[in-house]
Amino acid sequence: MNSTLFNTIDADKAIAIKQQVDGYLATHVLWKGSILTDLKQLEFNYTTCKVNVDKPERRLGKRVEQFFTGLIKSTKEYELVCQNIQLKSGKITIGEIDCILKKEGVFYHVEHVYKFYLYDETAGGKELGRWIGPNRKDCLNFKLLKLKGKQLPVLHTDQGKQVLNDFNISIKQVKQRVHFKAQLFIPKTKSVQFNLINPEAVSGVYYRLNELPTDALYAIPSKINWLLKPHENVEWKTFEQGLLEIHEFLNQQKSPLCWVKSSTGVLEKCFVVWW
């Protein structure tokens, strides 16, 4: 997939954001078809994304929202009616509508999700409960329950209906969808089998500290660059140098994302977990 960037920021930042956009576009949806029938993915086709990012968001989650907005605008398949509308009851925020799109007279309430999950069979439960966040503070099963139980139903609250009324939309005209992309990581030293999730979403592996290859080179990208596929044009560190930096994360119970370059030149994307 290809992305084109038009903006007024300096050239180096433009190149970096283009790489992030490419990483976003290359990320697969977490499931396809009717496996999760009560949460349908938004379907649309795209090969190019023109993203205008004069003021790129610093946080990764907010930046991928910018990319999704740019993607919708560049496809011209959907009209963006509204986005990021907070719903309040008095002074209390009860939820947010990510966006409402329109296509051929039909409106779509869409929740956009971008996640990094690691497969841990010791997490318990069935398959969906075994996909967890790198720091074990997130779980796919909980996210799906939140989407179904809170984020999508917010449209049916009085505040949600008022938003629709403001745009002259009948709730009967609205279909609900998610656009759920994810990068998945499986254990390096153990084979796993899963059936509900799109295998194309697997982006790499994860190691525990004692499993790391000692004859490899290491790079630790900033979180905003977790989107990228590994490439050669970075400052590579020896195992000993990389280990010092990795320890700083692990001591804070944070699992860093690393790029590993083997002695034969093979590049690998991985997490090093503290747990």
Residue 45 in contact with residue 77, Cβ under 8 Å?
yes
The model's pLDDT over 211-254, given as tens digits with 9 standing for 90+, comes to 999 999 999 999 999 999 999 999 999 999 999 999 999 999 99
Q: Which pLDDT band, with edges at 50, 70 and 90, does 3 fall under?
A: very low
**How many other CB atoms are found less than 10 A from the CB of residue 73?**
15
Residue 66, pLDDT above cutoff 60: yes
Domain edges within the chain = 2-203, 204-273
Q: Which pLDDT band, with edges at 50, 70 and 90, does 1 fall under?
A: very low
Residue 143 in contact with residue 76, Cβ under 8 Å?
no
Of 35 and 207, the one with more pLDDT: 207
Residue 26, pLDDT above cutoff 90: yes
Residue 85, pLDDT above cutoff 60: yes
Dihedral of CA atoms 109, 133, 229, 12 in degrees, nearest 10, equals 80
| Residue where the block lists tokens 């990581």 | 185
Residue 165, pLDDT above cutoff 50: yes
Question: Inter-axis angle of helices 11-26 and 60-75, to 10 degrees?
Answer: 80
- What percentage of the chain has pLDDT greater than the value 90? 78
The model's pLDDT over 146-158, given as tens digits with 9 standing for 90+, comes to 999 999 999 999 9
